[in-house]
């Protein structure tokens, strides 16, 4: 477990400028944005490294090193389940997972204390779309994934601050290998890996 002077929380989901500005005005929260000079995983890893050295009750990071993995996992379940397209979706997921795993093993980033998922308010009877954070990630450590659901930026900001104040303690994250293993098996028997999936994992 990492020892930080603050509770580091990654925002997962679309965070509008209005939401970030409102949350950043809180005296108990320091907002960390990714550096403009980097992109994707590198930018998120850099933001998390900066967050680890900040002394504040909460540090909210508006970047996630697992964002590409989460996007490909979601895409696998949104595409039609024809064998060829399922294999392509699985391969894309494995490639993104291999990249994240390699960076994690190299010490480029550690997982935050918590993930806070910005979720849209679903109407009555609406089906929840596949979600990496609320699915496999939350299944491995339920107390490490929180949800803030609201429509307007001001409401979202208030909900985020409320959720931050009610985060529960729990076991630390398992290894990233185990998280990705759970992701592959979250819907038992449904995910068929492509022939190149194993080769992609070896890149890590």
What global pTM score does this model have? 0.83
Confidence check: pLDDT of 68 > 90? yes
Confidence check: pLDDT of 138 > 50? yes
The whole-number pLDDT of residue 48 equals 96
Which of 92, 97, 100, 94 shows the shortest CA–CA distance to 75?
92
Q: What is the mean pLDDT of the chain?
A: 83
The whole-number pLDDT of residue 197 equals 38
CB 194 within 8 A of CB 91: yes
Query: Using 50, 70 and 90 to split pLDDT, how confident is the model at 199?
Result: very low
Give 165's contacts (C-beta < 8 A, 6+ positions apart). none
Confidence check: pLDDT of 81 > 80? no
**Nearest-angstrom CA–CA distance, 54 and 33:** 13
Confidence check: pLDDT of 111 > 80? yes
% of the chain surpassing 90 pLDDT: 56
Query: Using 50, 70 and 90 to split pLDDT, how confident is the model at 192?
Result: very low
CB 86 within 8 A of CB 79: yes
Averaged over 184-197, what is the pLDDT? 52
The whole-number pLDDT of residue 101 equals 97
Averaged over 150-171, what is the pLDDT? 88
Averaged over 151-176, what is the pLDDT? 90
Report the 10 Å Cβ neighbour count for 169: 7
Averaged over 38-59, what is the pLDDT? 94
The whole-number pLDDT of residue 173 equals 97
């Amino acid at each position: 477990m990492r020892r930080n002077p603050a509770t580091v929380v990654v925002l997962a989901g679309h965070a509008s400028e209005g939401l970030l500005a409102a949350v950043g005005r809180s005296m108990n929260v320091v907002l960390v944005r990714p550096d403009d000079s980097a992109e994707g995983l590198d930018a998120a890893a850099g933001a998390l490294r900066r967050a680890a050295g900040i002394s504040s009750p909460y540090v909210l990071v508006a970047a996630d090193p697992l964002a590409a993995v989460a996007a490909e996992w979601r895409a696998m379940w949104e595409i039609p389940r024809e064998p060829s397209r399922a294999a392509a979706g699985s391969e894309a997921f494995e490639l993104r997972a291999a990249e994240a795993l390699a960076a994690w093993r190299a010490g480029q980033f550690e997982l935050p204390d918590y993930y806070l998922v910005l979720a849209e308010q679903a109407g009555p009877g609406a089906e929840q779309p596949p979600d990496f954070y609320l699915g496999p990630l939350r299944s491995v450590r339920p107390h490490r994934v929180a949800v803030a659901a609201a429509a307007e930026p001001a409401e979202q900001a208030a909900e985020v601050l409320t959720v931050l104040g009610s985060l529960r303690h729990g076991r630390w994250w398992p290894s990233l290998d185990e998280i990705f293993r759970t992701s592959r098996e979250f819907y038992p028997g449904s995910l068929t890996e492509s022939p190149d999936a194993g080769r992609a994992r070896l890149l890590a």
